Structure 1
């Protein structure tokens, strides 16, 4: 989704569960958040990882276009591009993370690039407002590809990189994405679980930390991440299991305890339900594919 807006008043810092590309079309401002404070002008692009707080103080009037992109979609694009060299989607995720290792990047592309990006940003914004949905998917994808073709070569190679703390985002179920700012309570609950996935979190404990009732937290969290807090925790644990199965020879029982499940059989069932294969088969498949890749 893309939105173009003109601002005269300061906006409070907000975080989103997606990657944001904020392109300055006209005017200037100061952006601030977890990454400090930076002055931005026409042709600057702010690239924000999911969950990064960002606010803005215009110097007069500033016009920006923000492109909101699901991180899973970007990982899939990486996989499609380099599928010949990868074993599975986790390889793509690691490559994507290494390419975008900074939580925030400020790219000083200049007015010429702003002029190039302008028509594509306007078209993407128009699709988002007038014809959102499957009907314009291919045209939306084409415009996004044009925009990324200009911006991606500069990631990690120019501008100001700032990151007080690298925060990770994890896959969510496919769904319509409204791309509204995350409620602080949902942000806090997700951060707690990401920080300690082995802890035996309960909805009651998370709701107490977020200062909401369990039912309220359930609604707020599901609206933000597309799944309940406990389902989100399960997803984090399965993903950690997959990485450990890929990169270590640690027995399944030990891995299960490390991610927060005491019962190895239960962990295996959860893994198979999410990945589509039992842990032993997944580990063997990855090892076989890696061996073939090295031989080739």
Structure 2
């Protein structure tokens, strides 16, 4: 995303034509920016659709975000670096940062552009949250198991064997619990997390902000034919499409009695319409003829 935003920013200077496209974003991508990109236009991504690991708002998460303070930097160096880059200020007086203002410590995270920092619970953050609790449940299960096989040392003090990471695999694959958001966390027979995906629609605004709107869901464990559900009425398309669903083909659908004929040298979505061969018929628009 960082590289793509840079290329789109340079496109006008390189005489590239406008990219009026609907971006389809995989779940491995997320909206990220460098500090210098905070004022760059994000209108290109208006109407984009993305697959994101299902997430839910956790009770107390927003309260936690509001409580974060740069004084935590004494225990966490990441917060110091993040705070200085996000607010363009310095927490320390040094010769290399004399031209920067000092951080007051009262800066608010919700004042940062969403392109730099999202305050909502994203799929990545939700995965980390569930992973931590999964390991905690596995450790507890391991503790209960080992407490039944404990041994006493000479001074009659309880002594437990050290737990190696690989020893938690057995407990991880068998745990099932509900997290604080009410979602069930469990693993399938292949020891993979049973998770579905949210289909989100990116809606941008003139001030450079954007929101993700959930418009559907992809559930691999749903009955056949029911895996993907979309609320098309909620989808906002790019402004160049005038709120009309964009076409995925460059040719009109063939009428009944006609069939598709591939155009040589053209993309597969481009075709001519020819009459059905003798002995065949097509009764529906855009269908291949049947005998």
| TM bracket, shorter-chain basis | under 0.3
What is the TM-score normalised by the length of structure 1? Answer: 0.23
Max Rg structure: 2
What is the TM-score normalised by the length of structure 2? Answer: 0.24
Task: Answer 1 or 2: which has greater helix percent.
Answer: 1
